[in-house]
Amino acid sequence: MTMQKIWKLKDFGGSDQLELSQAEIPNASDAQVIVKNEAIGLNYLDVYFRTALYPWPNQEPVKIPGSEAAGTVTEIGSGVTHLQVGDRVTYVMPVGAYAEYVCVPSKHVAKIPDSVSFDTAAASLLKGVTAYYLLHDTFALTAGQTALVHAAAGGVGQLLGQWGAEIGATLIGTAGGPEKCKVASAAKYHHVIDYNNQDFVAEVMRITDNQKVDVAYDSVAKTVFPGTMDCIKPRGLWVVFGQASGPITDFNIGMLAPKGSLYVTRPALFNYIPTQEQFTKASDALFSRIADGRLVTGVHGEMSFDEIPKAHDMLENRQTTGSVIFKFN
């Protein structure tokens, strides 16, 4: 019996419910691969599952969080044709990545270009695929349109700024504090608002000459509600794809009509990448841009695998900028 290090969830709640433990190295079944992790990414999705904001997606007796990582394929199951043992890969999954070896559905595993490191891949895949579907599928942003992005200095926010600018849209970003505003400006936002010190609604109205924005990408939620709705054009779209400041608890659908018959959606990543083809399309678009320099990913720092609970606290306290990755000692 060969054992490995894992982080398991004792019960739903705070980061103190994460426990460093051991488990057997898994084997691949049909349409699965085993990946030996080299770098693991930190995402708010991990917090949502840890706190039971999202229901745990499987019935496994041991709950292992973690939603993205990069490493090397060590075993492939039957029916897997696009991967081989030894391939450098990265992957996304709802839970399970906080381990040395992970069994992953092959449809959500992508090869890493030679020019992209394990660290960069682990820091950028989930955030990059999220940025892709937000810009191309949830709301197909086009040249000449204007978008508001909250948390513009975050991992997804930085990619939305760069990718949206490539499309030719006007990007207005919000961030908390001067340092994070500098990060957002470097991510190609045309306008950056410090919502700690400025009224972001008034600033959006000033920047757009009272025309408002076509779409608002909101991963902050509670502390920017209901102001975000006041920034959106009539019949525009409010995309709530996260809730870094907490959930919105006092929304009712009747608010949308007087705000201009707005549309609102709460997208989730895995509804946008249900097949290998859809996932590959998004990951290829991401890594081709990283490889040629069109997208620069923000890595806040590297931490030890043993420090995962500390990193969860940093993320929840909004002390990170860009992405955090975990490495094994």
For residue range 11-38, what is the model confidence (pLDDT) as tens digits? 999 999 999 999 999 999 999 999 999 9
Strands (E), the chain: 3-9, 18-24, 32-41, 68-76, 88-92, 101-105, 109-111, 146-149, 170-175, 191-194, 213-218, 232-240, 263-265, 299-304, 323-327
Average pLDDT over residues 283-298: 93
Q: What is the C-alpha to C-alpha distance for residues 4 and 25, in angstroms, rounded to an integer?
A: 6
| Residues 185, 72 within the same domain | no
pTM of the model as a whole: 0.94
Q: State yes or no: pLDDT of 300 exceeds 80.
A: no
CATH number of the domain encompassing residue 247: 3.40.50.720
Average pLDDT over residues 59-66: 96
| Residues 240, 285 within the same domain | no
| Residues 73, 118 within the same domain | yes
Task: For residue 164, give the H/E element and its range.
Answer: helix 155-167
**158: in domain:** yes
Q: What is the C-alpha to C-alpha distance for residues 154 and 3, in angstroms, rounded to an integer?
A: 35
CATH number of the domain encompassing residue 41: 3.90.180.10
Q: What is the pLDDT, as a whole number, of residue 329?
A: 83
Q: What is the C-alpha to C-alpha distance for residues 244 and 131, in angstroms, rounded to an integer?
A: 16
Strands 18-24 and 3-9, sheet pairing: antiparallel
**38: in domain:** yes
How many domains are contained in the chain?
2
| Residues 260, 287 within the same domain | no
Return the minimum-mean-pLDDT range out of 121-135, 161-175, 312-326.
312-326
Q: What is the pLDDT, as a whole number, of residue 92?
A: 98
Mean pLDDT for the chain overall: 97
Average pLDDT over residues 257-264: 98
| Residues 11, 110 within the same domain | yes
Q: What is the C-alpha to C-alpha distance for residues 56 and 17, in angstroms, rounded to an integer?
A: 15
| Residues 160, 112 within the same domain | no
Q: What is the C-alpha to C-alpha distance for residues 214 and 197, in angstroms, rounded to an integer?
A: 24
| Residues 195, 118 within the same domain | no
The residue out of 228, 250, 266 marking a domain boundary is: 266
Q: What is the C-alpha to C-alpha distance for residues 315 and 156, in angstroms, rounded to an integer?
A: 13
Q: State yes or no: pLDDT of 299 exceeds 90.
A: no
User: How many other C-beta atoms are found inside a 10 Å radius of the C-beta of residue 32?
Assistant: 22
Q: What is the pLDDT, as a whole number, of residue 322?
A: 78
Q: What is the C-alpha to C-alpha distance for residues 92 and 105, in angstroms, rounded to an integer?
A: 9
Q: How many residues belong to the chain? A: 329
The residue out of 214, 243, 266 marking a domain boundary is: 266
Q: State yes or no: pLDDT of 165 exceeds 70.
A: yes
Q: Which residues of 170-206 are buried (b: 16+ CB within 10 A; e: fewer)?
A: bbbbbbbeeebbebbbebbbebbbbbeeeebbebbee
Sequential DSSP letters for 261-319: S-EEE---HHHH--SHHHHHHHHHHHHHHHHHTS----EEEEEEGGGHHHHHHHHHTT-
Q: What is the C-alpha to C-alpha distance for residues 272 and 270, in angstroms, rounded to an integer?
A: 5
**132: in domain:** no
Q: What is the C-alpha to C-alpha distance for residues 34 and 245, in angstroms, rounded to an integer?
A: 35
Q: What is the pLDDT, as a whole number, of residue 298?
A: 60
The dihedrals phi and psi of 125, each to the nearest 5 degrees, come to -65, -60
32: containing domain: 3-125+274-327
Q: How much of the chain exceeds pLDDT 70, in percent?
A: 99
Q: What is the C-alpha to C-alpha distance for residues 148 and 161, in angstroms, rounded to an integer?
A: 10
Q: State yes or no: pLDDT of 295 exceeds 90.
A: yes
